[in-house]
Every structure is written in structure tokens, then in C-alpha cells.
């Protein structure tokens, strides 16, 4: 289902912005936009995403899940589980940093950006953008990112074929999305998120709007939230946020 319609671009501002335009023109669910480079690749919370030509995988998928906003947001852990599974097939020790990053060797290798568009307060479509550092060498990252970013090439010690990664990724995305649509849950994806959770058992700081929540990271729930136990033993269910220390 996903990937039945594929659009390959040489360069674009952002594959997410491009896919937004297509979604508004009623392109079907499962349309995937790939670009070799992006001039304005963006990440969560207003950050930019380094999008060097021929080094990374930059793609966005149009989803139209028939659910309300809270359930639709599960598309992010679902995608994280798919990316993690796809990379693990290459014998990479990929881990999920809730809510939307994939790490290898404690360094970020992939970011996911889900953008939900609402119509009359109901989700009309979701664009899920995935950026994976494939063939970057250490020097390709800006100095301030070098200690916290990695690529598949840096981890495997040899270049990787982009199409192999895409094939694996679409396989897992299709598998997990089918469960979401047919069974209405994402239990398999959440199991993967918990099995390969980078945060579980660590003391973390999560920035959630104006607050910073500190505590021991526990399970990711079937709602996609993260359980955090604070120092007096109170367990909080954190729906979303940015993990600023772990």
C-alpha cells in the first residue's frame, strides 16, 4: 500500500512541504516523496535538518489514517519502530530515543517529523518525514554536531546502498501500518519501541512546554506516551516532549 506511488526529486526545499502540497491536491495515501537533497530540510521544534546531496535519505509519506488526532499521533512511534527494524536488519544496533529519533552508539542517525493536518478539527492527512544519515563521513557534519551524530556508513565501516534501506523501510512501514489500520492498534510497533528503547532505565530530563520533568524512564505505553517515575515515586505519563538529558 505504501510506496505504490513514488515521486523522486533531485532537489526540493523540504520533502515534507512538497508532500503537504500533494496531499492537498488529494494524492492518495501511501504516496512517497524522495529527494536527493533539501535546501530547507526541517526537524522538530523549528530546527533544521542537514540534507547533503547523495549522503542521506530524505523522504516523506502521505498517510490518511481514519482516526481522531490522539490515535493518529501513534504514527510517530509506528515509524520509529519501522526505521529501527529496517536498520537492525543490517546488523546495526539501532535504538529508539522516544519520541522520534533513532540512535546508534549513543549518536543520532535518523529523525522523524510527523505533521498532522486538521480539517474541521479532525485529521485529514499526516505527513511523516524521515531523514537518515546514510553515507556521511564524520567531517560532513558541522563541528557542533560531530559528537552527537552518526551515519550508517560510519557505523558499518562501508557505504550503504540507499535502495536497500528504502526497500527494508517500506517493508516494515507497510507491515506496522497494516496492523494499525486492520486491527486498530500498534502493539507490534510499541513492542519494538520498548525492546529497543534508548531511554528505559535511565534518569532523564524531558522538556514539556514550560516544564522540565526529571525521573526514571520506563515503558512506552500503547498511547505512545512515556512513563517517568520521579524521585518521590510518582509515575507520570508524558504524552510528548523533548528529552534534553539522558
- The residue ranges that bind ligand BTN (CB under 6 A) are 14-16, 38, 41-44, 47, 49, 58-60, 101, 111-113, 129-131
Q: Shortest gap between Cβ of 128 and ligand BTN (angstroms)?
A: 8
DSSP assignment, residue 214?
A: E
Q: Shortest gap between Cβ of 83 and ligand BTN (angstroms)?
A: 11
Q: Which three cell numbers stand for residue 85?
A: 527494524
Identify which of residues 32 and 74 has a Cβ nearer to ligand BTN in the complex: 32
Integer Cα distance of 176 and 180 in angstroms: 6
Q: Shortest gap between Cβ of 105 and ligand BTN (angstroms)?
A: 17
Integer Cα distance of 83 and 150 in angstroms: 15
Q: By C-alpha distance, which of 221, 228, 223, 243 is closest to 74?
A: 223
Integer Cα distance of 222 and 204 in angstroms: 21
Identify which of residues 16 and 189 has a Cβ nearer to ligand BTN in the complex: 16
Identify which of residues 235 and 244 has a Cβ nearer to ligand BTN in the complex: 244
Q: Shortest gap between Cβ of 48 and ligand BTN (angstroms)?
A: 8
C-alpha separations of 20 from 31, 69, 70 in Å: 11, 17, 20
Q: Are 124 and 25 in contact (CB under 8 A)?
A: no
Integer Cα distance of 99 and 240 in angstroms: 7
Q: Shortest gap between Cβ of 113 and ligand BTN (angstroms)?
A: 4
Amino acid at each position: 500500500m505504501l510506496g505504490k506511488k513514488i515521486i523522486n526529486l533531485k532537489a526540493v526545499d523540504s520533502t515534507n512541504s512538497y508532500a503537504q502540497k500533494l496531499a492537498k491536491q488529494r494524492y492518495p495515501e501511501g504516496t512517497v516523496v524522495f529527494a536527493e537533497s533539501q535546501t530547507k530540510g526541517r526537524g522538530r521544534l523549528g530546527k533544521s535538518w542537514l540534507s547533503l546531496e547523495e549522503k542521506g535519505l530524505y523522504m516523506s509519506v502521505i498517510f490518511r489514517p481514519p482516526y481522531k488526532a490522539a490515535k493518529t499521533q501513534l504514527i510517530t512511534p509506528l515509524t520509529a519502530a519501522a526505521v529501527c527494524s529496517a536498520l537492525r536488519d543490517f546488523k546495526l544496533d539501532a535504538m529508539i530515543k522516544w519520541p522520534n529519533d533513532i540512535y546508534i552508539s549513543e549518536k543520532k542517525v535518523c529523525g522523524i517529523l510527523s505533521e498532522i493536518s486538521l480539517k474541521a478539527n479532525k485529521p485529514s492527512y499526516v505527513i511523516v518525514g524521515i531523514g537518515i544519515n546514510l553515507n556521511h563521513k564524520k567531517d560532513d557534519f558541522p563541528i557542533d554536531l560531530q559528537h552527537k551524530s552518526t551515519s550508517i556508513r560510519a557505523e558499518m565501516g562501508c557505504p550503504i546502498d540507499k535502495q536497500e534501506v528504502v526497500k527494508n523501510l517500506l517493508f516494515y512501514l507497510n507491515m506496522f501500518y497494516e496492523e494499525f489500520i486492520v486491527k486498530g492498534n500498534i502493539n507490534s510497533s510499541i513492542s519494538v519501541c520498548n525492546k529497543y528503547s534508548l531511554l528505559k532505565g535511565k534518569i532523564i530530563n524531558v522538556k514539556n512546554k514550560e516544564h522540565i520533568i526529571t525521573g526514571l524512564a520506563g515503558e512506552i505505553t500503547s498511547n505512545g506516551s512515556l512513563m517517568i517515575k520521579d524521585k518521590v515515586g510518582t509515575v507520570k505519563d508524558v504524552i510528548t516532549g523533548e528529552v534534553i538529558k539522558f
